[in-house]
């Protein structure tokens, strides 16, 4: 399934996107399947769905991303590198919801209970660049989250 998911996740067809978000959500709810292990393979695609013109797809993607963020918080093993690269790119997205969600994810990774921030050390330059981009954002809410994230990164 994963090769098919990777192949179709970048498609813009609303029916394909709805199907993919639905499958990702269903597979994530199966206890024997750890979708978080494959998160870097489809994280960027879910983020791109946040800017879809179809409200249902945006909501489904936002819901899936919220659930995965909750799982990342609870996970003892997280691959930060691939996720950080995706989040940094999304912090530069033209869509407000993408930027806000990405900086929120970065803030959570900084606070990840099983890394103490150390797991992010190799990625501090990338994270700092994304934070600075968001601090200069025109949206007040994004700026606030970025400023808090910057303070948290400095206190590590």
The per-residue pLDDT for 3 is: 85
pLDDT, one tens digit per residue, over 64-115 is 999 999 999 998 888 889 999 999 999 999 999 999 999 999 999 998 877 6
pLDDT, one tens digit per residue, over 107-150 is 999 988 776 567 788 899 999 999 999 999 999 999 999 999 99
Joined together, the tokens standing for residue 63 give: 């819901």
Q: Is the dihedral of CA 47, 51, 57, 60 positive or negative?
A: positive
The per-residue pLDDT for 45 is: 96
Answer whether 0.85 is exceeded by the pTM.
yes
3-state secondary structure the chain: CHHHHHHHCCCCCHHHHHHHHHHHHHHHHCCCCCHHHHHHHHHHHHHHHCCCCCHHHHHHHHHHHHHHHHHHHHCCCCCHHHHHHHHHHHHCCCCHHHHHHHHHHHHHHHCCCCCCCHHHHHHHHHHHHHHHHHHCCCCHHHHHHHHHHHHHHHCC
- Burial of residue 53, with CB atoms counted within 10 A of its CB: 0-12 exposed, 13-18 middle, 19 or more buried: exposed
Tell the residue number behind the tokens 């007040």, with chain if given.
140
Q: Tell me the CB-side half-sphere exposure of residue 10, using CA atoms within 13 A.
A: 5
- How long is the chain? 156
């Amino acid at each position: 399934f994963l090769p098919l998911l990777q192949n179709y996740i970048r498609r813009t067809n609303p029916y394909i996107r709805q199907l993919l978000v639905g499958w990702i959500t269903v597979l994530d709810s199966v206890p024997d399947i750890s979708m978080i292990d494959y998160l870097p393979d489809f994280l960027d695609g879910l983020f791109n769905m946040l800017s879809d013109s179809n409200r249902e797809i945006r909501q489904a993607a936002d819901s899936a991303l919220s659930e995965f963020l909750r799982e990342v918080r609870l996970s003892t093993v997280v691959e930060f590198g691939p996720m950080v690269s995706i989040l940094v790119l999304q912090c530069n997205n033209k869509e407000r919801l993408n930027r806000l969600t990405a900086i929120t994810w970065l803030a959570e990774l900084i606070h990840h209970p099983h890394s103490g921030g150390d797991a992010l050390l190799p990625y501090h330059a990338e994270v700092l660049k994304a934070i600075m981009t968001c601090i200069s954002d025109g949206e007040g809410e994004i700026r606030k989250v970025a400023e808090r994230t910057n303070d948290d990164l400095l206190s590590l």
